[in-house]
Amino acid sequence: MSQPLAGKPLRGLIIAIDGPAAAGKSTLAKRLARELNYVYVDTGAMYRALAWRVMEEGIDPGDEKELGRILQQMRIRLVEHAGQLRVLLNEVDVTEQIRAPEVSQMASKVSTLRVVRDRMVELQRAMGSQGGVVAEGRDIGTVVFPVADVKIYLDASPEERARRRFAELRSQGKQVTLEETLEEMKERDRRDQERAVAPLRKAENALVVDSSRLGAEAVVEQVMREIKNKLRAI
């Protein structure tokens, strides 16, 4: 367990965590936010909330006009309750609904559109405007917060990420196979990396951490060393 930084200011930094699906970004971001007493910004949940709304209304995910309408009507709040991040869409808790695999796939599709990325980046920058945030997603260090104080690119092999997501889905009672999960993971990676708008890529000055063979605690310790070094330099 990493130790608190006694006597050091624990507010003000912007910490950006990028990487592919199921690399462990959410776990890392939550732990860092808790240890630093920072705000945790789950940008993926914001895109999934939009995707869920698109599916609920039966909208064509390529219809930018309709997506623009929904985006202007949407109010997304990320709130912590009983130690868990809850996602409120127009004050309705959609935390559980947006975790479905089909919602994640839809989120990957709508996130390729400029109208969606522009609006989401606007919202995300507003959340982190005062610093003291840990934000995770796929374009945090490259697009949303290119001047972030600490940038992390968290990765893992497709096979390991599929295994993690498969275990998560099965624990939720979802009837999926590991093979199906791996194929969906590879398809998600392809879309994220090849999209024209804000593709997934490593920021030039990001610390790369491969979590394929590391436990969550080891990842946190490695990243906390980077954060401590940054704070000592302030």
Task: Read off the pLDDT of residues 108-124 as tens digits, 9 standing for 90 and up.
Answer: 899 999 999 999 999 99
Of the candidates 29, 37, 31, the one whose C-alpha atom is nearest the C-alpha of residue 10 is: 37
In the chain, the domains with their CATH numbers are 14-228 (3.40.50.300)
Mean of pLDDT over the chain: 92
Model pTM score = 0.86
Query: Structure tokens of 172?
Result: 């939720």
Q: How far is CA 125 from CA 44, 136, 232, in A?
A: 14, 12, 25
pLDDT at 6 over 50: no
Dist. CA 111–CA 36, nearest whole Å: 30
Q: Sheet with 84-89: list strands edge to edge.
A: 76-81, 84-89, 92-93
The alpha carbon of 19 is separated from its chain's Cα centroid by a whole number of angstroms, namely: 8
Strand, coil or helix: what is 49? helix
pLDDT at 3 over 70: no
Kindly give, in sequence order, each residue whose CB lies less than 8 Å from that of residue 3, ignoring residues fewer than 6 positions away.
none
pLDDT at 171 over 90: yes
- Look at residue 150 in the predicted model and tell me its pLDDT: 97
Kindly give, in sequence order, each residue whose CB lies less than 8 Å from that of residue 51, ignoring residues fewer than 6 positions away.
61, 98, 103, 104, 106, 107, 109, 110
Kindly give, in sequence order, each residue whose CB lies less than 8 Å from that of residue 186, ignoring residues fewer than 6 positions away.
158
Contact 39, 127 (CB under 8 A): yes
pLDDT tier at 81 (50, 70, 90 boundaries)? confident
Longest distance between any two alpha carbons in the chain, whole Å: 53
Contact 45, 85 (CB under 8 A): yes
pLDDT average, residue stretch 33-50: 94
- Look at residue 12 in the predicted model and tell me its pLDDT: 86
